[in-house]
Amino acid sequence: MSSPNKGPRRALVIGAGPSGLVTAKYLLADVNNTTTVVVLEASHQIGGTFVNKVYDNTRLVSSKYLTAFSDHRMPEAYPNHPSADQYVQYLESYCDRFDITQHIRFQCQVISVQDDNNNNASSRGKTTDENDVMTIQDTNGYIVQYKDFRESSSSSSSSNDQEQGKIVTEHFDLVAVCSGLHNVPNIPKLPNQQAFQGTILHSSQYQEPSIFDNQRVLVCGSGETAMDICYRAVQNKNCQSVAMNVRRGFLSIPHTLPNDRPLDVFITNWLEHSHEHPWVHALRLRWWLSTLVTRTFLLATGSSVGFNQWACETKPIKRGYHIINKSHAAMAHMNVPIKRQWGWWGQFWLWVYGETHLKPITTFHRTAIARIDDNGKTVHFEDGRSVDVDTIVLATGYRQSFPFLDKTTMIQQSMMTSNDPCMEKNNKPNTYRLDEDPLPSEHFIVSNERPHLGFIGFVRPNVGAIPPMSELQVMWWLEKLKGNLTNPTLYQRPSTPSYMVLGQKYPYGVDYGNYMHRVAEDIGSAPTLSMLWRSNHPLRALYTYCQGQAYIGIFRLQGPYASKTCWNIFDNELWEVCLDRGWAENFGLASITGLSLIMNVVVCGLEAAFSLVTLRPPRLFSRYG
């Protein structure tokens, strides 16, 4: 690790979405090390994806309890899953409270971020790795070029001047890339696409369902956006038909359970994300127990492959393998054609869920588009089936792209090792999957070679939210720059068994709770049971942590960013969230924790017996895996 950079610094934040705003807030608070903070935002307002990529009636699928930042909570009057407009209002109040807006330069688009080669270049640490790639310690900061469109948009300049903008060059000691996951649409080219006589659009272009009037619609994709668009199309009475093409399948569980209880609060910390015996953790025995309980719960809904899910199942249905699809409304329409094929059994479940008279959505599962017919309307699939369509919506997601970074910088900061999740399976050097730019090696935040170039908000949680992950990432990054990591080498790669999502649909998919605990442990912010027992309300604190979700506030109860405000939130709001789950659900979660405790105690006994033979001291419970 490079030595900590001492003295005041100029910091740049790229993007004014949630990740960029929370990064700016922490940089502004770090007054002993940062004198200037500049946020460059290409659009005209804050919010990022929640402004630029929203469609009609968009709502968060993560709850307000999990999504809110640690010391600025969402209003009590907000619904459990706020609308995009409400969330942007929340972000605006966050900016007002922490005085962030004055540091944002809107309508400024970053062109390039390059090493400052002219600032005492001889003192920069340089080494050559085994692939002869020059590794550079970025102690001299970065030269940043960006286009400033503010003057041209407010003046009577020609249209050509308005398109070009004014090029500005500045030096920054720190650069935080917070440009967001949903920035560059992934638009595949369909076979014989030029013959299609209808409309092809990416989901980012969708705004409202009237575009489906008198149309036969095909949606390609299996994410939450694909499900949302399918539902809006099938709800349009003037839409002729809706079909969905899903190549691999997905695990569907609604983001809200009966009585408007958020799904993401039904997850616990103790003995699942922390305080496991190393053998239990290595074998993922807690995940096996969760899988058993989850499959039993799903079976009670009529299907063991998802919540009332009869279409587009994926495999295996196990804890820790999938990023859950929490947009569930279209599933009822997708079930109809399949349940009808199951005779009286399918009719029974159609009646149970009131799906009998729903307009069906036809699914083309585990297949891909083979070609578009020369007639310009018929789409043929690889499994031999076909469908006539007028509109094709490509809900095919986004590519992770950093066009302002040159390839050399990306290779250096990623270090291009064979276990990088973005490498092709054949591990060919310099080859990336899905044309994605790589993330750094250490928690996907920074690399040891470029500690002053941080990437905030790019990991994808299975059941969680990105904004609180971004907040913890910023805390970790600042502590690394100060040289304060408690164990700076242990988690340079996601080597712990429960760290990554195992389904590998996304190269940077992580298990939310495990990722949060691993990052927090590095900076000494992960709660200890002894600390919680010494609190003002010890039983309440222990229960809220042990049987509650990995809310960002619990990682500010101790450590370098400990906050009395977060303690108050922890003792009140988050405690009440646990109570609101219901006594039966709390008893069920406590029972699972009890079974997990028995597993850990048994394994501790086995290890103690083993240690008598090998004369090795037993490890007993490990604090964090």
The string of pLDDT tens digits covering residues 12-40 is: 999 999 999 999 999 999 988 888 999 99
CA atoms in the 13 A half-sphere facing the CB of 16: 29
Q: Mean pLDDT, the chain, as a whole number?
A: 88
Tell me the average pLDDT across 293-311: 94
Q: Tens digit of pLDDT for each residue in 422-474?
A: 444 433 333 334 467 889 988 999 988 899 999 999 999 999 999 999 999 99
Pairwise CA distance, residues 455 & 175, whole Å: 9
Lowest mean pLDDT among 41-55, 226-240, 351-365, 499-513: 499-513
Q: Going by DSSP bridges, is the β-strand pair 199-202/184-185 parallel, antiparallel, or unpaired?
A: unpaired
Count, residues in the chain: 625
**Whether domain 187-253+306-396 has CATH 3.90.1150.10:** no
Ranges of each domain in the chain:
9-183+399-459, 187-253+306-396, 529-581
Amino acid at 37: V
What pLDDT, on a 0 to 100 scale, did the predictor assign at position 621? 65
For residues 320-329, give the mean pLDDT: 94
Q: Which of the two residues, 436 and 351, has the higher pLDDT score? A: 351
* Order of strands across the sheet that contains 386-388: 369-372, 378-381, 386-388
pLDDT tens, position by position, 34-53: 889 999 999 999 999 899 88
Supply the Cα-derived Rg of the chain in whole angstroms: 25
Q: Bigger pLDDT: 441 or 202?
A: 202
Flag whether pLDDT at 209 surpasses 70.
yes
**5-9, 255-259, 301-305, 534-538: which range is least confident on average?**
5-9
Beta bridge partners of 200: 392
Q: Which residues contact 84 (CB under 8 A, 6 or more apart)?
A: 50, 51, 54, 58, 59, 60
Top-confidence residue, 305 or 424? 305
- Helix segments in 119-206, DSSP class H: 150-154, 159-164
Confidence band, pLDDT 50/70/90 cuts, at residue 114: very high
Would you identify the CATH topology of the domain 9-183+399-459? FAD/NAD(P)-binding domain (3.50.50)
> If 0-12 CB within 10 Å is exposed, 13-18 middle and 19+ buried, where does residue 556 land?
buried
Q: Tell me the C-alpha distance between 561 and 575, whole Å.
A: 21
What whole-number distance in Å separates Cα of residue 318 and Cα of residue 276? 19
Identify which has the larger pLDDT, 484 or 135: 484
Query: What pLDDT was estimated at residue 278?
Result: 85
Q: Provide the greatest CA pair distance for the chain.
A: 85
Residue 123 has pLDDT above 90, yes or no: no
The H-or-E segment that residue 393 falls in is strand 391-394
pLDDT given at position 127:
37
SS3 label, residue 321? coil
Mean pLDDT of 291-318: 94
Return the H-helix or E-strand segment holding 509.
strand 509-510
The tens digit of pLDDT for each residue in 561-576 reads 999 999 999 999 999 9
> Which residue, chain included where needed, has tokens 């600032």?
119
Same fold, 9-183+399-459 and 187-253+306-396: yes
Amino acid 498: pLDDT? 80
Which pLDDT does position 88 carry in this prediction? Answer: 97
The answer to whether the predicted template modeling score (pTM) of the entire model surpasses 0.75 is yes
DSSP state of 12: E
Q: At 381, is the secondary structure helix, strand, or coil?
A: strand
Q: 335 burial class (0-12, 13-18, 19+ CB within 10 angstroms)?
A: buried
Torsion of CA 352, 354, 356, 358, to 10 degrees: -150
Tokens of 364: 């083309």
